[in-house]
Structure 1
């Protein structure tokens, strides 16, 4: 039997199940990680996006992908996301956002 209750696209509702809007999110990335398109099991020069790591109380470190290169926030600074979405694939959750802001 197969259970097909997972959406196969990025949704804000899925992100809200994992990342609480009530608790602060902190940046833990020392640098912006560039993600490349892979073809024939090899990376190309084509950039597919950028990734940063974050942490929230009660969660392990999680990575968020951005289409445009984000400005790297200071280490352990509070941040907020613009349209944080998530996708569940098997037992993994992948996050994506259109941007982020440092919160004071």
Structure 2
């Protein structure tokens, strides 16, 4: 099932609610992906965020982004575990949905 919400131009908790509703979220990867800034098509050492993989009962795995000051600690989680987020927000650009949060905890 694809995410279906009218495109928006900003992150908001309302967008996340429209996209996910009351669906349960599960962690599907324990590897944190680091995002780096690029200048002139070259990677710098500046970290601009972190991403983790999650899924719901009706959506294939997708990423949730965390800003550098909000790096998640996944050491207490197991794959498939039900999770919840602090300040989950979403933005939809065309047919792509992007999520970000400030924290993660067991549901």
TM-score, normalised to structure 1, is 0.86
Cα deviation 1:22-43 (Å, max 9, x = unaligned) = x321000131111111111121
Match of 1:30 in 2: 30
Which has the greater radius of gyration? 1
Q: 2:84 aligns with which of 65, 70, 80?
A: 80
Q: Distance in 1 between matches of 2:24 and 2:93?
A: 25
Once the two structures are TM-superposed, the CA of residue 7 in structure 1 deviates from its matched residue by: 2.9
Counterpart in the other structure of 1:19: 20
Cα distance in 2 for residues equivalent to 1:78 and 1:55: 10
Task: List gaps (5 residues or longer) in structure 1.
Answer: none
Runs (4+) of structure 1 moved beyond 3 Å?
A: none
Q: Residues 28-66 of structure 1, C-alpha deviation per residue, up to 9 Å, x if partnerless?
A: 013111111111112110000110010101112110001
TM (norm. structure 2) is 0.84
State how many pairs are aligned: 98
Unaligned runs of 5+ in 2: 1-5
